[in-house]
Structure 1
Amino acid sequence: MPRTTATAPTAPTVTATAAVVRGPGHAFTLEEVRVEKPRPDEVLVRVRAAGICHTDLSVRAGHTPFPLPAVLGHEGTGTVEAVGDAVTSVAPGDTVVMSFASCGACPACLTGHPVRCDHWPALNLFGGSRLDGSPTLRGTGRHAGAPLHGHFFGQSSFATLALAPARALVPVPADLPPHVLAPFGCGVQTGAGAVLNVLRPEPGHTLVVYGTGSVGLAAVMAARLTAATRVVAVDPDPGRRALALRLGATEAFDPGEADPRAAVRDLTGGHGADRALETSGLPGVLRQAVDGLAVGGVCGVVGAPPAGTDVHLDVPRMLDRGPRIVGVNQGGVVPRTFIPALVELYRAGRLPVDAIVETFPLAAIEEAAAAAAGGRVVKPVLTMP
């Protein structure tokens, strides 16, 4: 008898409503997409809310390289719908926050530093697919079957369903509002982690936060939990400065009215800032942050300008004053342990994240994006139908 070859069945998929960006500068458009079935180490999450972050808007504008068309979103929270055969960390019905993806097998992951994962860029920013190149999303209708770039920060949560690696999921209490939980996956953990894990201000220190968006204000909230004597916010927006003061800043300066370097030196008796955090992504502001440091001070860099952006530093001053400049990715945290700790601080009223959040339905994503880009809202959070 002739020999036959069996054909593997096509993996079942489900459909979701997603905000798709089809090209640089294009609007978010709601489309039906197909979501692949979870592989053994993957989890399907019913998304309840997703925050909008500067990185999402930077990708849409073409400033941050990510292949398009794509589904973005990387501050998702929701309920586990289905799990792969090898997943034991979460189960259907669990409430989870989705954070960044990591491989779990490289030296950095094995030593507890997933933000330094060897495959971090491909898994989170530049790949648009699983590490093996296979898509997690496909189009429907006139785009039927065409792969869509997804797996953005391991999730692509601007959708009613997201497929994420189990390692990226953090179980959280089910009784907390989804719109508050969502920003913990990136903006809140980044700002708080930059202060608590990286800069670690000591008793008597002055910490200056340049830029009071969601990351900067999360840093201010976290700084209030430390022994830093002064927490200084620098931002041109009077409303943001007032909010920073309410959330824990001891002083706030308008950089348009006074040079922050001189203002901080005056405030500290000529000493300067022991710690600084630059969140704006503006090279000139980073230069100010470094120049304003005390001898031996540390500047954390969180703000992400377009790829290839340079900053010029005074080298003799670097040699004379010995500052340290540290790039900070995702707060340098291990999400599985850090996010639950932040959530408990929120529950205790010590990390008032809800003060920076405003909600928008998924259908109003363009309005939410405009509110974020224009600075009207600190942290827009999309709620899913």
Structure 2
Amino acid sequence: MDLVPGSKDTIAFEIYSDEVAPIIYCQGHALLKPTGGEAFVDIDKIKSLCSSEPITAEKCYAFFASKGIDYGPAQQGVKALYTGRNVILAQLVMPAKLSHSTDQYMLHPSIVDASLQAAIGFLIRDGEFHDDIQLKLPYALEEMELCNPCTTKMWAVLRYDQEKMDSGFVQKVDIDLCDHRGLVCIRMKGLTMRGSEGGIGRNEHSASKDTMLLYSSWKEKDVVKSETERSVDTQRIVVLIAPHEGEEESVTQRLDGVSCVTIQAAGKAGIEEQFQSCSVQLFEIIKRTLQNMPVGGVMLQTVVRANGNESSVWGALSALLRTAQLEHPGLISQLIEVDTETGTEKLIEIIEDNKDSPEHQVRYKHSNRYVIDWKEMESKSVCCPWKDKGVYLITGGQAE
């Protein structure tokens, strides 16, 4: 684990594997603050709002198994689920094989995992699981509050916002982990659950047999403001690649609250050497940004001038930016490509216009704005390019 002092008395942390090429498992910011006293949840009241007949552990884990997820005895911590409107009450019991390790953790992984498993209660319809239900995986967590140590027997109260639940692919859940008295021990807020585009544990009968091949193209599109409200504490950084003289100062003066960073191309080198040099510099900027990530996150806009074939080369930077955003939920990235003839005033206008845009890659050509669009190939007889049980190495791409 790495700990780095952050802003506003926070501590940035990163948990990763101890390997030559470490795998990052978790990132975030920690803050020490008073708990504000003990908080209790009325378990009996919540139970009265739920169905009288609980969903048993046997039924829960049988459903998981039917979806291709087999939890062993040491991973089965859900004893019963009570389902209500927009709420799930889960009775959790630490497996006997792990009870000796209770005192070793404040946040016991077995209990936390069981509370996440309990989210399948939101998929129950008319007291039953259905085969057409798509499981969702935990993806990101906005905040976790540690109040008291976990115990061997606990209650988990899961709540969701109906509007966010109905968004389909993504939903957000809040979880309170309480002891047998209802004392809140752990609070998880804004747990994002995402569906798998290919499904989870899908078998050969449920998987689609159709093959669709798509290609990317540019389509003209006006600026549209993102539906997701950005935090007022979000820091905004503009990265200018090979800017005109005095452009960094102009951007800083004209755009309130913006930090401007420049990247210089490698002199008279060819486009390949320039791209390599700028990619390395951009990577270092991203790395420094993540190491000092503020609580409100960062909006990183990268701007480059390019024409003709150079646009496709510089466009590859979007993969680097998009990958960084996928791995770090607090980072919002955007690549803006403009014509080489674009002046400073117009450039500043474009940067400001796109600050609330949801598109990750934007291209301006002759004052027209374009974004990436995916289209299906027109061939009516598309053959599947993959062999059954074949092994393939997939590299590159657009970080989607």
TM-score range, shorter chain: under 0.3
Q: Which has more helix, going by share of residues?
A: 1
Higher RCO (C-alpha 8 Å, min separation 6)? 1
Structure of higher CA gyration radius: 2
**What TM-score do the two structures reach when normalised by structure 2?**
0.25
